[in-house]
């Protein structure tokens, strides 16, 4: 199970490898990249450069396939290219060119869009308004008959890309005759890397416009709209479902009450009673001791919560205001609203869950609606956060429960 000695790199590498199960990577390509990275010496730079080179290779090949009207090949290669660009995007802030982050986002996005256009039938790409802001949306259908179908809204976490939603829901939805909606909410995808819009604690204000849009369509079964959230998305969708009661079923993958508790204790302890005291301690005591590796991790973890963190990181600098992004993370705690969820809810947990240990069971215990708790295990090869090595088992678990719950 070990691709890299470092557990963080190993986890992202396993996500890339496991994605091969749904065609959004290829085993030989990932393992060849892993070998090259280890041979060069594992670092943010070598990881990014190696996977970006694979992205470029596949993107060029997909473009040539498009010219030759080889749609199947273009679709497959563009999907894998999007995955490999996304792997590089995750670590780019720790390289010698952190300012390339937005361009690298557009690289993975362009390949995702190419894949989506070549899906049969082509995904409907549009926007839905979140207040005055237009959220990018991709609506996948198994066919164009117009028949009303159960539909799942797939919600990413704090650092995933659209290609992850293919692996963790869209492909499975298509195979079962469901519709699937993918979107970039605030703090995600285009909203983060281009618009520099941070996460909002009122995720119901994000989901309600999506439900409004779906209920205007004749090919959506309005009584069978499910909401699923991956990684920190498991927190976001919990907040949304507490207030948006047209959601017929909810899946938190995993359950997450407080993203702040995913930060190590030594990071949480930086926060003092006041902003002035916190930032003085941060800048005078903590920042001078940060290694480049720790500085990168803090930039990456806080980036979706405060545009100032992103702007400093893209300049190769550490942010000076710790208080503001920390408070934004803390504000996402949903402990008090989970009891208000009314729809049937599935809470997933994982053996060796490294980010939210104990939180899935705690969220399950707070629920007052019909509920189910499932832990995916080492014996299944489905351990670790979001089961990176077993997305098929993950999706089978989720969609079997959804179909049983919604009587599909």
Identify the bridge partners of residue 127 per DSSP, sorted by sequence position.
136
CB 343 within 8 A of CB 241: yes
Q: pLDDT per residue over 167-225, tens digit each? A: 999 999 999 999 999 999 999 999 999 999 999 999 999 999 999 999 999 999 999 99
pLDDT at 379: 97
Helices (H), 136-287: 162-165, 171-175, 189-193, 204-214, 233-243, 265-268, 275-281
pTM score: 0.97
Per-residue pLDDT band for 276 (boundaries 50, 70, 90) equals: very high
Binned at pLDDT 50, 70 and 90, residue 353 comes out as very high
Residues 343, 341: Cα–Cα separation, whole Å: 6
Measured CA to CA in angstroms, residue 149 lies from 105, 171, 217, 249 at distances of 32, 15, 10, 15
Work out the percent of the chain whose per-residue pLDDT is above 70. Answer: 100
pLDDT single digits (tens) 318-330: 999 999 999 999 9
Mean pLDDT of 135-152: 97
Burial (Cβ within 10 Å: 0-12, 13-18, ≥19) of residue 240 = buried
Can you give the pLDDT at residue 115?
A: 98
Q: How sure is the predictor about 95, in pLDDT bands with cuts at 50, 70 and 90?
A: very high
26's tokens: 């290829």
Supply the mean pLDDT for the chain: 97
Residue 9 and residue 41: Cα distance in Å, rounded? 12
**DSSP-assigned letters across all residues of 304-359:** GG-HHHHHHHHTT---S--HHHHHHHHTT--TTTGGG--S-EEEEEETT-SSSTTH
Q: Closest Cα partner for 373 from 360, 386, 384?
A: 360
For residue 148, the tally of other CB atoms under 10 A from its CB is 15
pLDDT in tens, 282-298: 999 999 999 999 999 99
**Better-scored residue on pLDDT, 408 or 204:** 204
Give the pLDDT confidence score for residue 1 in this predicted structure. 86
């Amino acid at each position: 199970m070990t691709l890299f000695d470092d557990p963080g790199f190993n986890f992202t590498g396993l996500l890339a490898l496991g994605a091969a199960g749904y065609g959004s990577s290829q085993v030989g390509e990932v393992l060849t990249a892993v070998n090259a990275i280890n041979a060069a010496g594992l670092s943010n730079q070598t990881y990014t450069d190696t996977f970006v080179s694979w992205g470029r290779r596949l993107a060029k090949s997909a473009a040539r396939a498009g010219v030759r009207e080889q749609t199947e090949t273009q679709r497959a290669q563009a999907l894998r290219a999007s995955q490999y660009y996304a792997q590089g995007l995750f670590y780019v802030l720790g390289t010698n060119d952190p300012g390339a982050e937005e361009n690298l986002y557009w690289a993975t996005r362009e390949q995702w869009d190419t894949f989506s256009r070549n899906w049969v039938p082509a995904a409907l790409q549009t926007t839905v308004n979140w207040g005055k802001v237009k959220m990018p949306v991709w609506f996948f259908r198994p066919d164009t008959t117009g028949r009303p179908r159960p539909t799942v809204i797939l919600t990413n976490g704090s650092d995933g890309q659209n290609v992850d939603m293919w692996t963790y829901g869209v492909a499975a939805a298509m195979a079962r005759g469901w519709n699937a909606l993918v979107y970039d909410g605030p703090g995600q995808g285009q909203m983060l890397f281009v618009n520099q819009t941070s996460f909002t604690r009122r995720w119901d204000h994000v989901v309600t416009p999506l439900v409004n849009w779906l209920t205007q369509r004749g090919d959506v079964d309005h009584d069978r709209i499910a909401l699923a959230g991956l990684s920190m998305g498991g927190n976001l969708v919990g907040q949304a479902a507490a207030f948006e009661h047209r959601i017929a079923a909810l899946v938190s993958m995993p359950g997450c009450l407080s993203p702040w508790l995913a930060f190590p204790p030594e990071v949480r302890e930086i926060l003092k009673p006041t902003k002035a005291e916190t930032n003085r301690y941060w800048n005078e005591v903590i920042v001078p001791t940060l290694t480049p590796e720790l500085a990168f991790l803090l930039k990456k973890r806080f980036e979706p919560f405060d545009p100032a963190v992103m702007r400093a990181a893209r300049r190769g600098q550490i942010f000076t205001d710790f208080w503001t992004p920390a408070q934004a993370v803390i504000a996402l705690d949903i402990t008090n609203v989970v009891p208000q969820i009314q729809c049937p809810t599935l809470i997933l947990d994982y053996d060796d869950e490294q980010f939210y240990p104990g939180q899935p069971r705690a969220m399950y215990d707070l629920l007052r609606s019909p509920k189910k708790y499932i832990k995916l295990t080492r014996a299944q090869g489905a351990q670790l956060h979001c089961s990176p090595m077993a997305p098929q088992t993950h999706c089978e678990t989720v969609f079997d429960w959804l179909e049983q719950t919604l009587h599909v």
